[in-house]
Structure 1
Amino acid sequence: MPQPDAAPLDCLIIGGGPAGLTAAVYLARFRRRVLVVDSGAPRAAWIPTSHNIPFFAEGIGGPEILRRDRETVERYGVRIEAGTVARLERGKEGFTAAVHDAAGGNRLIHARRVLLATGAVDVEPDLPDLPDAVRRGLVRYCPICDGYESREQRIAVIGHGERGLGEAIFIARTYSDDVTLLTLGCPMALDEAQRASVAEHRVKVVEQPVEGLDVREGRIAALREGGREHRFDVLYSALGLHYRSELAVALGADHDGRGALRVDSHNQTTVRGLYAAGDIVRGLDQIVVAMAHAATAATHIHNRCELPTEDEADNG
C-alpha cells in the first residue's frame, strides 16, 4: 500500500488543459504549493485553429495553446506530472488522491484542496471506415470557435435529437443559409415548433445512414446515402460529450443528467474544498470560459486555503 507524500499540497490540480494550467499559474503566483497531474489527453489538443481567443487574431491551434500554457506554468516551477488519478477521497483535513504515474508507479497525494479540470470527450461520429474523424480534424466540433470562418459555405451537422437540431439551427441563423442535419440513421420526431424552425431557417434533414464517403486533401469531400451524394465544405459533430466527472460524482458532487458538474460562484462543487473548471462544468464549453473558471477557483482556493473544508460557510 503506497504511503502519502509527507507534506500536503495546498492544491492538487487534476488535468493539464487550459483550465488546469491557468489555475496552476494563478496559484503559483499566490505562492501556493501546487502539483498538476495530467493524463495527457486534453480536449483542446483537437482544436485545429481557434479564432475567438483574444490576442490571436490570425487564430491559434490547440497544441500551440497547450505548449504555451505549459511553458508559462513551468516558468513558475510548478511540476506537471504525467499520470492519472484513479481514486479521490475526502477527509477532515483535505483530500487524498491515488495516483498512477506514467512509469507504472502508484502513490498517494494529500492536498488541502483539489481542482478538477479533467474536461470532456466528444462523442465521435460513426462514419464508414473513418474512425477518429474529430481527432484527425476531418470533422469539427465547435462552430462558436470557427463558424465565422465557415460563413456562407455548405455546412453539415452530424447529430440528432434536440442537441443536433439546436446546433444546425444555430449555424443556419448565424453563419450560413445552406445547412444540412445528418442524423446517421436516427429518426427525428419533430414537433410543430421544431418543424417551423427547420422551415424558417431552411435546414435540410437527412435521416438515412451514411453508406460511404470521399476524403480528399485532408477533408471529407462527399458523403453517400441511398444512392445520393452530398457535398459539403465543412462538417460539424453535435453528438454530445462524455464528461470526465467520475471522481467528483463518486464523492457525491451535484451534477446534471449528462454528468456536467454544478458549481457555485467560486467554482466550488457541492463537495467542500473540491473545485471544478473548464468543460467539466455545466455551461458554455469555451477556452476563455475555462480560464475564467480557473482564475475564479484559484483565487478562492488561495483565500480559503488554511481553513478546514468542513468549517467553511455556505457563502464563503
Structure 2
Amino acid sequence: MILDCAIIGGGPAGLNAALVLGRARRKVILFDNDQPRNAVTHESHGFITRDGVSPKAFRDLAHQDIRKYPSAEIKKLKIAEVKRESSSLFKLVTHEGTSYLSRKIIIATGLKESLPNVNGIRDYYGKSLFSCPYCDGWELREQPLVLIAENQNASHLAKMIYQWSHDLVICTNGNKIISETDEQLLKKKGIRIKEERIIHLSGSDGKLETVVFEDGTEINRSGGFVTTELKPANDFAHSLGCEVNKSGGIIVDALGRTNVDGVYAAGDTTLAGPSQLIIAASEGSRAAAGVNYDLTMEEFK
C-alpha cells in the first residue's frame, strides 16, 4: 500500500495533521515513537477547552479522535531513515527494518532540549521549574521565583516572568550573560541577579525550596523557570535537503511546505515561534491542509 502521507511525530502537530487528513479520507500513518518532550509535564495550559489537561490525557483523547477515521492509522514505531524513492514517492524505514512508501511526508518530530548544567535540576523540571511562563506562569503567580539561565535569553525571559511575579532572582550559574544596560533595567524593577555558580538545588518531591551557591550563600525559592537549549530531534530535514533557519528550524511556507517537493513540516520543528501546544496543533492542521491541497491538484492535472 502506498500512503498519501506519512506523518513522523506524535505530538500535537502530528496528531492534528492526522486528524485533518483522516477527515479528508487520505491514507495516512502517524509514526509515534512514544517519547514526547513534554512527558515530564503534569499539566498543559493555554489550549482552549483543554486547559490543565495532562499530556497523556491529551494524547489519549487525540488518538480517540483519529481512530474515528478508518484511513488514518497510528503506529508506535520509530522512523530511522527517510529517503526519496522516486520523483513522486518517499521511502520510510523503521528501526525494526520495516519499509513504507508515501507520496507526501510531514515532519513533526519536535525538538530535543538540554537544561542548564545544574546538579539535580531534572528532579524539579516539569514540577516546580518550567521553561514557558505562558504555560505555567499562572500557577507560580506572586511566588518567590528563580530563573536559572545560561544563555542570552535570560533578560528577555526575566522580563516576561515579571508579569506573573515581581519576586524574581536570575541565577546565571557562573556565566556573565546579561548586558550592563539590561542589568540596570532589571535591578530598577527589583529583579536580583546572582552570577555565582549553583552547587545544587534542594527540595522534596519535585518541589523546589532552596538554591545553594558555590560561595556558600543560598536563597529560598518555591519554583521558577529555566532557559533551555533547543535543537531538532533528528536529521531528517538535513538528509532530505530541507532549508533551515539559523536556529536549525525547518523553513516552511503558509501551508507547511518546505523547499523540497512533497516534504512538509509542522510544530516545534520549525522553530518559528513560541513552543506551545495550541500553536503546534494549529501548524499541524495547516500542513495537513497543504498536503491535501497539493494531492488534490495533482489528481486533477
Q: How does 1:75-154 map to 2 (within 5 A)?
A: 75-77=68-70, 78-90=72-84, 91-100=86-95, 105-131=96-122, 133-134=124-125, 137-154=127-144
Secondary structure of the residue that 1:257 maps to in structure 2? coil
Q: 1:53 aligns with which of 33, 47, 54?
A: 47
Q: CA deviation at 1:149?
A: 2.4
Larger relative contact order (C-alpha < 8 A, sep ≥ 6)? 2
Partner of 1:4: none
Match of 2:8 in 1: 14
After superposition, the C-alpha distances for 1:131-190 in whole angstroms (9 at most, x for unaligned) are 46426x342122111212222111111113321221112111x11111111112222251
Matched, 1:63 2:53: no
Q: Tell me: CA distance 1:239–1:12, structure 2 relative to 1, closer, same or farther (3 Å).
A: same
What aligned pairs does 1:294-313 form with structure 2 within 5 A after superposition? 294-305=284-295
Task: Give the conservation status (yes or no) of the 8 Å contact 2:107–2:264.
Answer: yes
Q: CA deviation at 1:86?
A: 1.5
| C-alpha spacing 1:36/1:56, structure 2 compared with 1 (3 Å) | closer
Matched with 2:239 is 250
Aligned-partner residue type, residue 135 of structure 2? C
The alignment status of 1:27 with 2:21, answered yes or no, reads yes
CA contact (8 A) 1:159 1:165 kept: no
State yes or no: 1:268 paired with 2:257.
yes
Contact 2:201–2:211 at 8 Å: present in 1 too? yes
Alignment partner for residue 202 of structure 1, among 177, 190, 202? 190
User: Hey, what's the Cα distance between the residues in 2 that align with 1:180 and 1:129?
Assistant: 19
Shift of 1:216: 2.1
CA-CA distance at 1:124 after TM superposition: 2.2
Contiguous gaps of at least 5 residues in structure 2: none
Cα distance in 1, alignment partners of residues 276 and 217 from structure 2: 36
CA apart distance, 1:196: 3.7
One-letter code of the match for 1:99? Answer: T
Question: Which amino acid in the other structure matches residue 104 of structure 2?
Answer: R
Q: Which amino acid aligns with 1:184?
A: N
Deviation at 1:266, TM superposition (A): 0.5
Q: What is the root-mean-square deviation of aligned Cα atoms in Å?
A: 2.1
- Give the alignment partner of residue 170 of structure 1, picking from 135, 160, 184: 160
Amino acid at match of 2:148: I
- Give distance in 2, aligned partners of 1:86 and 1:62: 25
Deviations 1:78-121 (A, max 9, x none): 32112222221123012111212xxxx21221111100110012
Mapped partners of 2:2, 2:129: distance in 1: 43
Letter in 2 for 1:248: A
Amino acid at match of 2:98: R
Structure 1 stretches of 4+ with a deviation exceeding 3 A read 129-133
Partners of 1:197 and 1:95 in 2: CA distance:
53
CA contact (8 A) 2:116 2:150 kept: no
Distance (Å, rounded) in 2 between the aligned partners of 1:307 and 1:39? 32
Give the number of equivalent residue pairs: 296
